[in-house]
């Protein structure tokens, strides 16, 4: 039975070393972390530190499995999710992940959050052949089945998102003078790489300045001032909510009026736009693949009704407009589906097979037309996205769904 402890260790419970229950056809097969009654999983999330606004992602995953346990678990087994705080610090992620694998003896690492944190544990988990399942990070490095077969992402790649932004700029503002402010890790660098790829030969002339920042920086005001001085009329920011809000406010204070494009990692009405000022955020463009909880168009859709009921029951007090819990909810739902498909073959090899065998799977809260597709030779699960623009109240669709295979 899961039990809530704290934001740093959301759900921690005891467990015993699982055993192989036989090899004959139809018999149960278990690896470490599994018994007849329990599946022990581990994960990390930033419950403290500079990216703590993403902590509700981890809380949503834990709450989802609590809901599943109250419904009888998965194939009769309760899910014991041990969710530890890593502060969005890669060294801390390594420390906590080693604890989960070596001390807590979890079955696998489930849905760990963040590009830099996941990059820090990728080699360790693959060397130990511990599945690194449905990690929420868009780094290109995670779609590498040859070198890192045990790391399976469940997120559009930042490179593809950067390409989408580039194609939009070329189609609407072909003479744009582009300024870029990006986080100095894979999140920022991969978005920037995709932007450059999408602009092609025109990247050198169209991008007039690029400035980076660190996740530990207190402010990015000086970077925004520098970018404005470049004469740019188009601003792209590839960063997180805290800095996203700062950038919006500073752009407004400088009376700078660029075409403003924001990575989805910061495009949260609740975490970014509201603190910055909704009036200051009008016109911001981003991308979307989930239904927007603030958009009344989805209010009566069955999965939205179910999601809002989940939030009110298991995460009371969470702002309904905050999209971050949607990621955790979706990830846990897909994890549950995958574990259900494993049946009684709860081995790490079977987890790897089931997690990389999705064909046109319509998960909860995905936009119509967007499905999950991956294979043992291509871990990239998302093939469609949609551009959105903020109208002062919520993000609205900007054009039709974009097929990433055609924009590559």
pTM across the whole model: 0.85
Residue 236 confidence (pLDDT): 98
The contacts of residue 317 (CB under 8 Å, 6+ apart) are none
DSSP string, 220-274: -HHHHHHHHHTT-SEEEEES-HHHHHHHHHHHHHTT---EEEE-TTT--IIIIIH
The residue behind tokens 């609407």 is 172
Please give the pLDDT value at position 130.
98
Confirm if 197 and 159 have CB atoms less than 8 A apart.
Answer: yes
- How far apart CA 151 and CA 19 sit, in angstroms, is 24
Determine contact, residues 301/291, Cβ cutoff 8 Å: yes
Domain ranges of the chain: 29-156+300-377, 158-288+386-407
pLDDT digits (tens, 9 = 90+) for 265-306: 999 888 899 999 999 999 999 999 999 887 888 999 999 999
Question: Could you give the angle at which helices 302-314 and 324-342 cross, rounded to 10 degrees?
Answer: 100
Residue count of the chain, please give it: 408
The pLDDT of residue 18: 38
pLDDT at 56 over 60: yes
158-288+386-407 carries CATH number 3.40.50.2020: no
- Label residue 26 by pLDDT band (50, 70, 90): low
For residues 406, 357, 106, 326, the Cα torsion angle rounded to the nearest 10 degrees is 50
Return the bridge partners of 181, or none.
211, 237
pLDDT of 322: 84
Average pLDDT over residues 30-34: 98
Alpha-carbon distance 228 to 23, whole Å? 66
First to last CA, the chain: 46
Please tell me the predicted confidence (pLDDT) of residue 405.
74
Q: Over the stretch 192-233, which tens digit does the pLDDT of each residue have? A: 999 999 999 999 999 999 999 999 999 999 999 999 999 999
* Residue 406, number of CB atoms within 10 A of its CB: 8
Q: Are 7 and 85 in contact (CB under 8 A)?
A: yes
pLDDT in tens, 333-373: 999 999 999 999 999 999 999 999 999 999 999 999 999 99
Give the separation between CA 153 and CA 136, rounded to whole angstroms. Answer: 6
The class level of CATH for 29-156+300-377 reads alpha beta
Mean pLDDT of the chain: 92
Q: Could you give the CA distance from residue 260 to residue 211 in angstroms, rounded to a whole number? A: 15
Contact residues for 181 (Cβ-Cβ < 8 A; gap 6+): 211, 212, 213, 220, 223, 224, 227, 235, 236, 237, 238, 239, 247
| Proportion of the chain above pLDDT 90, given as a percent | 85
- Of the candidates 95, 96, 142, the one whose C-alpha atom is nearest the C-alpha of residue 119 is 142
pLDDT beyond 50 at 5: no
Average pLDDT over residues 167-180: 97
SS3 183: strand
Q: Which two tokens stand for residue 329?
A: 């909810």
pLDDT greater than 50 at residue 331: yes
For 379-396, the pLDDT digits (tens) are 999 989 999 999 998 899
Instruction: Work out the average pLDDT over 243-255.
Output: 98
Question: What's residue 21's pLDDT?
Answer: 40
One fold for both 29-156+300-377 and 158-288+386-407?
yes
Of the pLDDT bands very low, low, confident and very high (cuts 50, 70, 90), residue 22 is very low
Q: In the chain, count of helices (H) and strands (E)?
A: 13, 17
Let me know: does 40 contact 15? Beta carbons within 8 Å: yes
Q: What is the pLDDT of residue 268?
A: 86
Region 128-144: what's the mean pLDDT? 95
Average of per-residue pLDDT across 36-61: 95
CA angle at residue 233 from 157 to 324, to 5 degrees?
35
Instruction: Find out whether 121 and 324 touch, Cβ atoms under 8 Å.
Output: no
Q: For residues 405 and 408, what is the distance between their CA atoms, to the nearest angstrom?
A: 5
């Amino acid at each position: 039975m899961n039990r809530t402890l704290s934001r740093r260790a959301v759900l921690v419970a005891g467990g015993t070393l699982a055993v192989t229950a036989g090899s004959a056809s139809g018999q149960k097969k278990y690896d470490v972390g599994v018994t007849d009654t329990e599946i022990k999983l581990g994960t990390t999330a930033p419950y403290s530190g500079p990216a703590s606004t993403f902590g509700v992602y981890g809380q949503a995953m834990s709450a989802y499995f609590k809901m599943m346990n109250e419904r009888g678990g998965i194939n009769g087994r309760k899910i014991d999710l041990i969710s530890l705080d890593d502060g969005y610090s890669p060294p801390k992620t390594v420390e906590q992940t080693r604890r989960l694998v070596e001390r807590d003896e979890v079955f696998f690492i489930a849905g760990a959050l963040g590009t830099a944190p996941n990059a820090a544990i990728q080699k360790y988990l693959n060397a130990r052949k511990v599945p690194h399942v449905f990690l929420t990070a868009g780094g290109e490095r995670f779609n590498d089945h040859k070198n890192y077969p045990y790391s399976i992402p469940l997120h559009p790649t930042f490179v593809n998102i950067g390409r989408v932004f580039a194609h939009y700029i070329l189609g609407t503002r072909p003479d744009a003078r582009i300024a870029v402010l990006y986080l100095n890790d894979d999140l920022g660098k991969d978005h920037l790489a995709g932007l450059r790829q999408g602009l092609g030969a025109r990247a050198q002339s169209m991008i007039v300045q690029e400035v980076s920042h660190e996740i530990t920086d207190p402010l990015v005001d000086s970077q925004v001032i520098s970018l404005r001085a470049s004469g740019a009329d188009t601003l792209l920011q590839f960063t997180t909510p805290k800095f996203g809000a700062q950038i919006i406010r500073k752009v407004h204070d400088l009376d700078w009026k660029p075409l403003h494009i924001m990575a989805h990692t910061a495009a949260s009405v609740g975490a970014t736009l509201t603190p910055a000022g909704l009036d200051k955020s009008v016109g911001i463009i981003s991308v979307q693949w989930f239904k927007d909880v603030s958009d009344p168009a989805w209010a009566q859709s069955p999965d939205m009704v179910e999601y809002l009921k989940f939030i009110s029951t298991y995460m009371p007090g969470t702002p309904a407009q905050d999209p971050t819990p949607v990621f955790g909810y979706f990830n846990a739902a897909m994890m549950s589906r995958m574990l259900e498909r494993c049946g009684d073959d709860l081995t790490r090899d079977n987890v790897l097979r089931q997690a990389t065998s999705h064909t046109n799977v319509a998960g909860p809260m995905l936009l119509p037309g967007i499905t999950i597709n991956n294979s043992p030779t291509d871990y990239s699960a998302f093939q469609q996205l949609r551009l959105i623009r903020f109208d002062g109240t919520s993000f609205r669709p900007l054009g039709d769904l974009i097929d990433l295979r055609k924009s590559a």
